[in-house]
Amino acid sequence: MDNLNLDKEIILDINELKEYLKNATLFSDKFFRFFLQNKIFKPAEFLIRKFLNNDSIFVRNMEIQKDIDNIGGRGIRLDFYCEEIGENGEVIKRFNIEIQRTSEGAIAVRARFYSSSIDSNSLKAGDKFNQLSETYVIFITEKDIFEQNQALYKIQRYIEYTDRQGNIIDLKPFNDGSYIIYVNGEYKDTSSDIGKIIHDFHCVNPDEMLCDELKEPALYLKKNEGEANNMFEFLTKESRENVEKIIKREVEKAKADAEAKGKEEGKKAGFFETAKKLLKLGLSLDQISEATTLTKAEIQAIAM
């Protein structure tokens, strides 16, 4: 089965989920997000420690699909968010882990926006800027988007020191606490810890994984009936919330388009476009009809 087809927007059937789990790898978005939150095996902590080469990190406050709203601007939804807490209860590091199957989804400006959005959501009114924690946005990409065959690409800001002709003679870290890491999913050298991790991301069968820290939670999720039910409960809730948001967004867009055109036929055309999108997402005829006011017959005609 093509893994790219595993991560469709909605899974609302337990048997469909079980089929999904059979074929899922750690590159499968829904599987990976749920996998990371395991509090028994702590795979998120293991990965972050390896990616940052720091075994002293302890992650807390894990959250799947964390929404960060931006009044008057574009909000984001983080795949997986967690924090490291200091001795006095303060957040000292914030981590966002994203799975990106395509290079387009991991472009540099997206990483910049995610990092800045986390920062803007970190301070309260009256907080000082030096209270900002370190932030790490980690993109795990299926392709080597920089094409330099590095296991990890680590990005931070630097100060340029130049000679009188403007040639760079030295670079020193800016130390603003903002870091971006790209994990190259095409890296093949399994002699390193990162290489072993990347190998494991491609495994459908957890028994073939090289890292016990990833193998055990993957087996637990794939083989444990209770965990499958927990995942189904989570995905059902998540899917319904997504459906509500999608319907609201698409209907508002259709209404706005209709108002701009100022004609009833424009409104109808807008709802037809909305219905096409909702059909692709797997919504039922009843849901689409209620959202768009189109009849079931009109929607069925679109689907044919």
pLDDT given for residue 54 in this prediction: 96
Residue ranges per domain, the chain?
Answer: 3-223, 234-303
- The answer to whether the pTM exceeds 0.85 is no
Residue 287 in contact with residue 243, Cβ under 8 Å? yes
Q: Is 201 helix (H, G, I), strand (E, B) or coil?
A: helix
Q: Which of 63-67, 219-223, 256-260 has the lowest mean pLDDT?
A: 256-260
Look at residue 228 in the predicted model and tell me its pLDDT.
Answer: 80
Whether the per-residue pLDDT at 206 is higher than 80: the answer is yes
**Is 70 exceeded by the pLDDT of residue 9?**
no
Give the contacts of 287 (CB within 8 A, at least 6 positions apart). Answer: 243, 247, 278
More confident call, 202 vs 266 = 202
- The residue type at 16: E
Output the CA–CA distances (angstroms, integers) from residue 29 to 37, 39, 140, 281, in the order listed. 13, 19, 11, 16
Distance separating alpha carbons of residues 63 and 90, to the nearest angstrom: 17
